Amino acid sequence: MPSNPAQASNSNLNVGPPLWLLAELTYRCPLQCPYCSNPLDFAQTEKELTTEEWVQVLRQGREMGAAQLGFSGGEPLVRTDLEELIGEARSLGYYTNLITSGLGLTEAKVNAFAQAGLDHIQVSFQASDPELNNAIAGSRKAFDQKLKMATAIKQAGYPMVLNFVIHRHNIHQMKDIMALCQSLDADFVELATCQYYGWALENREGLMPSKAQLVKAEHEVNDYRAELEASGSAMKLIFVTPDYYEERPKACMNGWGSLFLTVAPDGTALPCHSARLLPIDFPNVKDTALKSVWYDSPGFNHYRGDAWMPEPCRSCDEKEKDFGGCRCQAYLLTGNADNADPVCSKSSYHDRILAARKAADHSTVGIADLVYRNSDNSRLFFKS
């Protein structure tokens, strides 16, 4: 018998289909971002799925009812079969989204992807100015390439969707970032303050904004929203506050194994892209059908429902709203993924969040001191 009652059966949980499938095609990437969410040991990941293996994943996902499909990485443009996979996804009826840095993209590819049926492209920027953007990205041509591709994407008829990861070294640029987005005629802009997994956790002291920085940025975003509304602009701004400045945890992934299914480059199936860091045995699509992965595997049933919850989550009247918070965050900060997310003020480990906030208020870690994903690239910008 499984020690966790939630692993024994999901028959009483009324599990629906995975509506959002994230295909992490590769962990390879030309960028060096010090907040990358990919695993720290990504270089040790086993061989990537082949084109045919990915096609089988897409087909099985669609048969189960998945409707949204994201192509992600790493940098998905590294895969030479991306156009073929987009075409397969279109024939299956997915709404498809390419999440890219823009490096490796060309106008020809933008148009070819449109012909293949791609619905949506999200381009990430690292800052509003070339110097900081390129230093974080690890490429002297990154900023200009991103600008060029953002323009090409808009001209090709795609919605203009931009993403900026916000941290203590670019949060002072909020007004300039929003002005840049408006100049690019963006439709949607996600200003996503760092969430601390992977490299971001490794660099938390050097990335986490102070409370004062965060408050100022929120005011600037709200003021800019008001200006956009007054001018009749259709650009939408989404500002994501870091979990560490909340008193209640987020409903991570809308609940474990509820809507989202991620397939990692090596075929490992996960309820979220960070879950592979947990001490849980997750199935691989190479040897397990996606339907069985989703409905039957112990990994996906591990934190479904509330039978697994210890106190204070078990008796909390908000457990159906936040599902106990983020399991990865609980594991990283307490060493036990069963614990309440330390972000929650009811958690006995909440003091660790408060300590992180205090450290952010006094951090002197410079951008040159961060640990970069591809450390060799940082030498282009930072002299020892």
Q: Please enumerate, by residue number, every residue annotated as part of a binding site for [4Fe-4S] cluster.
A: 29, 33, 36
Instruction: Scan for tokens 């990358």, then name that residue.
Output: 36
* Alpha helices for the chain (secondary structure H): 5-8, 51-64, 82-92, 107-116, 130-137, 142-155, 174-183, 198-202, 204-207, 211-231, 290-296, 298-301, 319-322, 327-334, 350-362, 375-378
Instruction: Scan for tokens 């799925």, then name that residue.
Output: 49
Query: CA 134, 367, 27, 44 torsion: positive or negative?
Result: positive
**CA atoms of 287 and 209, how far apart (whole Å):** 43
**Could you give the angle at the alpha carbon of 46 between the alpha carbons of 200 and 265, nearest 5°?**
60
β-sheet with 68-72: strand ranges across:
236-240, 188-193, 160-166, 120-125, 95-100, 68-72, 20-24, 260-263, 269-270
Instruction: Scan for tokens 């909390």, then name that residue.
Output: 316
CA proximity to 306, closest of 291, 320, 292: 320
Length of the chain equals 384
Q: Are 357 and 245 in contact (CB under 8 A)?
A: yes
- For the chain, give percent helix, strand, coil, nearest 5: 40, 10, 45
Binding region: 29, 33, 36
